[in-house]
Structure formats: structure tokens, C-alpha cells
Amino acid sequence: MKQTGILLAAILLFGAVFPAIGTSYAQEPTQMETLQNFGQEVSDFIHEAIPLFKQQREETISAIKECREMVRNASTEDRVQKRNECRENLDTIREKYREKRVLFKDLFKEFGDTIKPLIRDAKGLQVKETERMQAMKEIRETAMQKQEEKPQITKEERRSIKDLRDLLKQQTQQIRAEQKQLELKLKEQAKELKNKIRALNKEIEEKEFKAQQLKHAEERAKKLAQSQGKTYLSPQVTSEQLEQQIQQIKAKTTRLQQIIDELTKQLDSLQTLPQTTQEQVTQDASDQIETIVDDVQEISETIEQLDSDIDQTQQAIEEQGVTVEETEEMEETEMEESSESENMTNSTN
């Protein structure tokens, strides 16, 4: 609350805050020292804040979805408590970003359209370098001009501009620290997803082997039905269709694996990129990981359905007098007989 008070005094009352040109107190920064980099400091804050506001939006949407699900699944007597928990969660998210939003709002109110190129640049939109530099120059000049308009200020008011710079730096550093935490979190999420996909691939290999067994059993069941003069009743999902499903799943996991590998490389090389590019890469990575999480969940559900289809196919084949175990035994016997026959032929020759 103290920081917000300083902020409102410093930004909304620029005329009463900035000292007149040529006046100074002992051991305090002069006007030029105080404002020389003010435009760059505002630009830095905006570039750090914009991705964070997008993150706040995503956190809020996610929390609302979770709340709806939680309330829907809660018993009648627990719903009021669940709604209160949801409200507290949303308030926590709002409070987490409040000071940054207040600072951003007040900067926009004070400098208006001047900071719009910086906002567009922070959002990754195309902005000419000359336009960006001009915006920072105008911010600095506006602040200096407002100093000249209010020469009569107290020492306490004079201190406010230092407090403003300190607050801007503090908030920017805090955002960068949060950005670093987000990078570490994304790397950990990417690692977890990689392990999940590896586990899914192992499951798929097992299903593929099972589908091949069913294919051989289905072929034997067809021959058996034909030899007995009966009509072969195809399963609702044939072994061929099972194999097609498995190939589709494998293609999806391969694609996700490639995306995660590329994502990991980008996250590992973040420190070599400019700050603005780092923010954009991090935000893109966050969006991609959210999509991959949904894709992995969808694949898991598809594998569960595949499990059910395999069981039904196996049951349908067994109902026609053929089992996977018997088929394997027969194939092994046929291979042994074929091998013995080949050996005998070779020895005769």
C-alpha cells in the first residue's frame, strides 16, 4: 500500500513531483541524472509487464474453468464453500498482479498514446526502431517539461521521483525474477511431458504387438470358418483397423516429441537472446506446452479406447473358436517344422 501511495503521488502528479531544472539537494540526483534514462525504464517495465498480464489472463481463465468443474461436482451442501474457495483463488490471482497493473494504468494515463508503440513492441507486433526510440524520447521530454511547470516543491515531493524510479526498477526486477521462475517451470513441464510421451510410446508398442497377434488369429479364424463352410463374422473393429489406429497415434506422439525437443532447445538458449525475444519465446513456449498437455491427454484417452477395442476384437475372434495363444503355438510349430524340413533338404543335397 505504501508503494502504491508513492506511485500515485509520483505518476499522477508529475507537476508536483519533478523538481525544477537547476535545483538540487545535497547528494541527491540532478534532473538530468534522474530522467536521462526514464524513457528506457518505462519501456523496460512495459516489455516485462505485457507478457505477465497475458499470463494473468490465462491463470484466471484456467481458475474459472476449474471452479466451474469443482462446483458442478460438489454436493449441494458443499457448493457454497467451493464458490468461496473459487472467489478467494481469483482474488489471490488479482492481488498478485495488482501493483503492476496500477503502475501500468497510471503510466498510460500520464503518457497516453506516447507509450502505445512500446506496448505494440512488447506484444511482438512490428514497430520501427525510430518509432520506438521517439516514444522513449517523448516520455523523457514530457517528464522534464512537467518539472519546469511546477518549480515550487518540497523536499519530500522531490524525493518522490527517486521513489518512482526505485519502484519501476523493483517491479521490473520482480517481473524478471518471475520470468526466470516461469522458464524453469516450463523446462520442468517439458521434461515431464517428454517422459509421459516416452511412456505412451511404450504402451503403444505393446498395443501394436497385441494387434499383430490378433491379426494372425483373425486370419486363422477366417481360414477355420472357410474350412468348416461357415460365414466368418468380422469383429466390430478388425485387427487391420486396430493397426491403423495405432499408426495414427504413433504419428501424433512422434510429432509431439519433435515439438518438445525443439521447445527444449529454445528454452535452453534463452539467455543468448535479447530480453524482448526471451519474453516472446517464453510466452510461445507456455502456449505450446498448454496445447501439448491437452494433446497428451487426448492420446491417453485414445489409448484407453484402443484397449477396449482390442479386448472386444479378441473376444469376437475367440467366439469363433480361435485364441491368440493357440495361434502362437501353431505358428511356432509351423516354424519348427519348416526349419526341420529345410535342414533335411540341405543335408540331402
Question: Per-residue pLDDT for the chain (349 aa), expressed as one digit of tens each?
Answer: 334 334 434 443 343 333 333 333 334 444 444 556 777 878 888 887 887 888 888 888 888 888 888 888 888 888 888 888 888 888 888 888 888 888 888 777 777 788 888 888 888 778 788 888 888 888 777 777 766 665 555 556 556 656 766 777 777 777 778 778 888 888 898 999 999 999 999 999 999 999 998 888 888 888 888 888 888 888 899 989 999 999 999 999 999 999 999 988 888 888 777 666 777 788 788 888 888 988 999 999 999 999 999 999 989 888 888 887 877 777 666 565 565 556 556 665 5
Of 55, 89, 52, give the one whose Cα is nearest residue 69: 89
Give the C-alpha separation, 193 to 190, whole Å.
Answer: 5
Q: Domain check: are 197 and 149 in the same one? A: no
**Phi-psi group of 27: left, alpha or beta (phi > 0 → left; psi -120 to 50 → alpha; rest → beta):** left
Q: Domain check: are 259 and 212 in the same one? A: yes
Size of the chain, expressed as the number of residues it contains: 349
Q: Domain check: are 263 and 136 in the same one? A: no
The answer to whether position 283 is within a domain reads yes
Torsion of the alpha carbons at 168, 171, 175 and 178, rounded to the nearest 10: 160
Task: Look up the domain containing 148 and give its range.
Answer: 2-153
Q: Domain check: are 74 and 136 in the same one? A: yes
Q: Domain check: are 134 and 221 in the same one? A: no
Q: Domain check: are 130 and 205 in the same one? A: no
The answer to whether position 174 is within a domain reads no
The answer to whether position 181 is within a domain reads no
Q: Domain check: are 196 and 322 in the same one? A: yes
**How much is the pLDDT for 149?**
60
Among 153, 172, 206, identify where a domain stops. 153
Q: How many domains does the chain have?
A: 2
**How much is the pLDDT for 16?**
35
The answer to whether position 117 is within a domain reads yes
Give the C-alpha separation, 143 to 140, whole Å.
Answer: 5
Q: Domain check: are 141 and 268 in the same one? A: no
Of 258, 102, 119, give the one whose Cα is nearest residue 194: 258
Q: Domain check: are 144 and 197 in the same one? A: no
The answer to whether position 29 is within a domain reads yes
